[in-house]
A and B are shown apart, each in its own frame.
Chain A
Amino acid sequence: MANLSPSTKVSKKQGVVDLFDALPDDLIAHIISFLPFKEAVRSSCLGRRWRYRWLELRRIDLDESHFTQSEMRQLLELDGLQPFDYGLRLSGRRHFLDFVSRFVARYAEPQVESFRLAFSNPKEHADKVRAWVGAMVALKVENLELDLTDPDEEEPFEGNYGYLDLPEEVYGELAGRWLRTMTLTGCDVQPERLGALHALRVLSLSRIAIARDGVEKLTASCPLLEELYLDHLTDTEEITITSASRRLRVLDINECDPIPYGVRLIQVPALELFRYMGFTGNFVVDTVNTLEEAELYFIWDDSDDASELLRDLLEDLNMVTSLTVCSFLLQVVPFADNPWQLSSSKNKVKHLTLDGVTLLKDEIQGIGLLMRSYPQLTSLSIILSDTKLRPSGNGQPSDEEADVEGSWEEQSGVPIPCLVDHLQYVTIENFTGHQSQLKFMKFILKSAKALLAVHIYVDPTPTTGTLECCLEEARKMLGYEKASEVVMITIS
Chain B
Amino acid sequence: MSSGDSGPSSSKQLVQQPAAAGRSPNQPPLLGAGGRKVIVLKSGDEEEFEVDLLDAMQSRTLRRAIEDGCGDGPMPLPNLTGPVLAKVVELFRRHRGDPRWADELQETEKEGMFKDYAPQKPTAEVKGFDREFVSVDRDALFDLLRAANFLEAPGLLDVTCDAAADAVMNMTVEEVREYFGLVNDYTPEEEAALRKQHEWAFQ
Residues of A bordering B, CB below 8 Å: 1-4, 11, 13-14, 16-20, 22-24, 27, 30-35, 38-39, 41-48, 50-51, 66-67, 69-71, 92, 95-96, 99
Contacts and interface: CB of A to CB of B under 8 A. Distances in A.
Nearest to B184: A47
Nearest to B192: A45
Contacts of A3: 44, 78-79
A131 B97 CA distance: 41
B81 interface: yes
Given A2-B44, A27-B145, A30-B157, A20 B203 contact: no
A30 B157 CA distance: 8
B45 interface: yes
A67 B164 CA distance: 27
Nearest to A29: B161
Contact of B176 (A16, A23, A43, A67): A43
19 contacts: A1-B1, A1-B44, A2-B44, A11-B181, A13-B183, A20-B182, A23-B146, A23-B149, A31-B165, A33-B165, A34-B164, A41-B198, A44-B198, A46-B177, A47-B183, A47-B184, A66-B203, A71-B203, A99-B200
Contacts of B145: 23, 27
A466 to B, nearest CB: 35
B173 A33 contact: no
Given A27-B149, A39-B201, A47-B186, A19 B181 contact: yes
B109 interface: no
Nearest to B191: A45
Interface string B156-196: 01000110111011100100111011111110000100110
Contact of A42 (B142, B173, B181, B182): B173
Given A30-B157, A66-B203, A45 B183 contact: no
Contacts of B1: 1
A42 B169 contact: no
Given A4-B143, A47-B185, A32 B165 contact: yes
Contact of B79 (A2, A50, A71): A2
Given A31-B164, A34-B162, A95-B200, A20 B180 contact: yes
Contacts of B13: none
Q: Which 5 A-B pairs have the closest CB atoms?
A: A34-B165, A70-B203, A2-B44, A3-B79, A16-B181
Given A2-B79, A99-B200, A31 B161 contact: yes
B12 to A, nearest CB: 22
Interface of B: 1-2, 44-45, 78-81, 138, 142-143, 145-146, 149, 157, 161-162, 164-166, 168-170, 173, 176-178, 180-186, 191, 194-195, 198-203
B92 to A, nearest CB: 19
Nearest to B141: A19
A69 B81 CA distance: 49
Nearest to A68: B200
Name the residue in B81, B194, B203 with the highest tally of chain A Cβ atoms < 10 Å from its Cβ: B203
Given A2-B45, A47-B177, 16 more contacts: A1-B1, A11-B183, A16-B178, A31-B164, A31-B165, A33-B161, A38-B200, A39-B169, A45-B191, A46-B173, A46-B180, A47-B182, A47-B184, A48-B185, A66-B200, A92-B200
Contact of A46 (B80, B182, B200): B182
A30 B161 contact: yes
A134 B178 CA distance: 41
Contacts of A34: 161-162, 164-166
A97 B105 CA distance: 42
B135 to A, nearest CB: 16
A13 B44 CA distance: 31
Given A35-B169, A45-B198, A24 B149 contact: yes
A38 B202 CA distance: 8
A66 B182 contact: no
A42 B146 contact: no
Nearest to B3: A1
Contacts of B173: 42-43, 45-46
Contacts of A41: 198, 201
Nearest to A17: B181
Nearest to B176: A46
B78 A2 contact: yes
Name the residue in A16, A32, A46 with the highest tally of chain B Cβ atoms < 10 Å from its Cβ: A46
Given A1-B2, A39-B169, A19 B44 contact: no
A45 B143 contact: no
Contacts of B200: 38, 66-67, 92, 95-96, 99
A18 B149 contact: no
Contact of B198 (A4, A16, A42, A70): A42
Name the residue in B1, B138, B198 with the highest tally of chain A Cβ atoms < 10 Å from its Cβ: B198
Contacts of A33: 161, 165
A1 B161 contact: no
A47 B181 CA distance: 11
Contacts of B178: 16
A34 B162 CA distance: 6
A194 B49 CA distance: 54
A304 B45 CA distance: 81
Name the residue in A1, A34, A70 with the highest tally of chain B Cβ atoms < 10 Å from its Cβ: A1
B82 to A, nearest CB: 10
Nearest to B139: A19
A18 B180 contact: yes
Contacts of B2: 1
B88 to A, nearest CB: 13
A66 B201 contact: yes
A47 B187 CA distance: 10
Contacts of A38: 200-201
Contacts of A66: 200-201, 203
